[in-house]
Amino acid sequence: MPTKKRKTPTLPAAVRDHLAGILGGDPVSAGHLEARVAGVGTVTAYHAVREGGGNDVASVVVAEDGTVTPFAEFVATLGHDPFVPVFVPGPVGHPVTPREPVTIDPPRNDWRLDQCDRYTETITVTVPPNGTTPKADVYLLADTTASMYPVLEAVKAGADAILGDPALGAFDVAWGVGNYRDFPVPTPNSYAFQHQLSPTTDHTAAATAIGTWTAAEGSDISEGQLFALHELATNGSIGWRPDSKKIVVWFGDAPGHDPICTDLTGLASAITEASATADLVGAEITVVAVSTTTGTTGALDGDPQGDAHDYTTCPGTGSAGQATRITAATPGGTHTTGIDPADIVATLSAVIAAAVKATGNVHLEATGDTAQFVESITPAGGYGPLAGDETHVLTFEVVWVGTRACGERDQQFDGTIDVVADGVVVASKTVHVVVPKCRFHYVVEVVCGTRSAKDDDEHGDRSGPCAVVPGRYATAVLIDNPSTCPAQIEKRFAPLVIDGKTIGREPDVVPAKPFAKLELPAGHATMDDCCALDEAVDHGKGLLVGVLDIVSDRALEVRVVHTADGGRGSVGAPSITTRSVEARRAP
């Protein structure tokens, strides 16, 4: 069967012979470490697996004089493992220090939105240094197959240094712990994924869970991490805190089987790189991956079909580059490669601090009953990734549109605009929208002034003379409040012909501008006429044609009286017409 070669250096001849005897076949290096031992000098530990034999590891120690000793015997004689780095841990359970909040400006909205109203609002979000999310759940996911022995021992020794990293002092960090091996189970692997600890701020519990990691099993080279990632994204028992940023710190030295078929997992469908990625993205989990040097070429990015012989019923279709693709798809994800056991603790601390501080994505979401009035938020996808060591000022445009028709009473709506960072709401502002009740609109045509016959010569056929025939015109609007309550009235006027000159013939349009407000007491009446319209427009003695809109919060009785004659020297009585004006309901 095809086998991916492990990363070397080349094994010395004496080491190769000893390891071949232990493994029962040609050894392939799984890495080496050096240490300085008092009274002994420099010693080197070599780890290897059998070529084509998967993850079973054999280890020996070579002294300066060339003496080769089995690893376990050397450690037992010395009384400690000299190849595990010594770390100075930070304070366990350090207090969370104050940090600047994310802000949103303006901090509140109070809108009055009539149907079809449209407003564009600029919102500024300021993200301070140290990122957006004060709470983060960091889940340590380790490959615990046999080839990971030196890495696991280093992480176990450095657990307190990782958990107590002072760089995390400004954050409320909870730690989850789990590890993976592979299918099939129970042979040759006892499990594929082991969830050990839900996110907790108890550092002692987290360190204890890490301390139970044992390098064993694995068989073929490809492992079961896609199943582990699927479980972390979909299994409610993992215990992510609902208001925390979710970060998976995944480290290992081999790619994952792709697919993992249903006969192995018992699930309804196979797990693939694509499905696991979709699960992680859907759960808004940031994945930070670290590839170690103890395994196959490419480590987490290696070829998943290079040695996958344990999956006899599940032909592989995956390709190299899994970790790079998965991390790139998640908000703020990263993949660090080429890390050896001596550097694993420092690397994990660095990538964890960067992930906690950084922000993969910041966007706005409209929530509650006022969301129906938000037509668009730009940029829709937000901003990110954002570095955690600087201030970011982010600008959004929100378009508000009146979508509700008026009713008999004011309609009240409440909601929020939330700032969401990596799935967590980190700032919010209250939004209150009032849809004003319907009012009574009495729309009246107004014709005032004189249009003489000579206007035909002065203006031609594209001005005032086209509106009415020569003559004198007057309009009176009679307004009565028959109710038992006062009426609040607003008057608006749109002039279409002023002093004989047309300004509002299609396609030209003219707005109806408010020009007066009054309170009309119960049982009282008033009148608007051509003289009163001097308040609205200086129309002179020439022809005035326009539209008067009388807007009231109560029903009124409105009549319009039009008077016209043929002008000076005309024969016959002037004409007088009157009509009742029906109310229209509108804001």
The number of beta carbons lying within 10 Å of the beta carbon of residue 194 is 17
- Give yes or no: residues 491 and 538 share one domain: yes
> Does 339 lie in the same domain as 192?
yes
**Closest among 508, 463, 392 to 125, alpha carbons compared:** 392
Which pLDDT belongs to residue 49?
74
Candidate from 82-86, 246-250, 429-433 with smallest mean pLDDT: 82-86
Which positions ≥6 away from 57 have C-beta within 8 Å? Answer: 30, 47, 48, 49, 146, 147, 149, 215
Q: Which of 188-192, 247-251, 459-463, 539-543 is the least confident region? A: 459-463
Identify the band that residue 8 occupies on the pLDDT scale cut at 50, 70 and 90.
very low
In a domain, 505, yes or no: yes
Instruction: Please give the helix or strand (H or E) that residue 515 lies within, else none.
Output: strand 513-520
Residues 422, 468 share a domain:
no
Report whether 65 contacts 34 (CB < 8 A). no
pLDDT (tens digit per residue) in 237-283: 999 998 899 999 999 999 999 999 999 999 999 999 999 999 999 99
- What would the pLDDT profile of 352-409 be if each residue is shown by its tens digit? 999 998 888 999 999 999 999 999 999 999 998 888 888 999 999 999 999 999 999 9
Question: What is the number of domains present in the chain?
Answer: 4
CA 225 – CA 161 distance, rounded (Å): 26
Q: What is the mean pLDDT of residues 434-463?
A: 81
Angle (CA) 187 191 195, round 5°: 175
Question: Is 39 inside a domain boundary?
Answer: yes
Per-residue pLDDT tens for 402-424? 999 999 999 999 999 999 988 88
> Are residues 110 and 429 in contact, defined by beta-carbon separation less than 8 angstroms?
no
In a domain, 89, yes or no: no
* Burial letters 18-50, b for 16+ CB under 10 A, else e: bbbebbeeebbbbbbbebebeeeeebbbbbbbb
Pairing of strands 471-480, 501-502: unpaired
Looking at the structure, do residues 312 and 368 belong to the same domain, yes or no?
A: no
In tens, the pLDDT along 33-78 reads 788 888 888 888 887 777 665 666 788 899 888 889 998 888 888 8
Same-domain status, 52 and 200: no
Query: In sequence order, what E strands does 253-300 have?
Result: 285-292
The arithmetic mean of pLDDT across residues 530-538, rounded, is 83
Please check whether residues 290 and 176 belong to one and the same domain: yes
| Residue 254 DSSP one-character state | S
Same domain, 194 and 300: yes
Residue 84 in domain: no
Same domain, 571 and 517: yes
Is the residue at 530 inside a domain? Answer: yes
Q: Could you give the CA distance from residue 375 to residue 121 in angstroms, rounded to a whole number? A: 12
* Domain end among 395, 416, 435: 435
In a domain, 231, yes or no: yes
Are 139 and 253 contained in the same domain? yes
> Considering the chain, what is the average pLDDT of its residues?
89
As a three-state string, the secondary structure of 393-438 is EEEEEEEEECCCCCCCCCEEEEEEEEEEECCEEEEEEEEEEEECCC
Q: How far apart are CA 586 and CA 117, in angstroms?
A: 13
- Containing domain of residue 495, as a range? 439-586
**pLDDT value at residue 569:** 63
User: According to the model, what pLDDT value does residue 575 have?
Assistant: 93
**What residues pair up with 120 in beta bridges, in sequence order?**
399
pLDDT at position 4 is 33
Query: From CA 284, how far away is CA 260, in angstroms rounded?
Result: 23
Q: What is the dihedral of CA 82, 83, 89, 93, to 10 degrees?
A: -110
Q: Both 199 and 71 in a single domain? A: no
Q: How far apart are CA 246 and CA 252, in angstroms?
A: 20
pLDDT of residue 45: 85
Handedness of CA 317, 322, 328, 331 (dihedral sign): positive
pLDDT of residue 243: 85
Of 435, 462, 495, which residue constitutes the final position of a domain?
Answer: 435
7: pLDDT strictly greater than 60 = no
Distance CA 136, CA 170 (A): 11
**Same domain assignment for residues 430 and 457:** no
The residue among 435, 467, 483 that closes a domain is: 435
pLDDT, position 209 = 97
Say yes or no: 404 and 332 in one domain: no
Residues 6+ away with beta carbon under 8 Å from 213: 142, 144, 152, 155, 156, 179
User: Is the CB of residue 554 less than 8 Å from the CB of residue 406?
Assistant: no
Whether residue 121 lies inside any domain: the answer is yes
**Domain with 263 in it: what CATH number?**
3.40.50.410
5 within domain boundaries: no
Contact predicate 548/477, CB 8 Å: yes
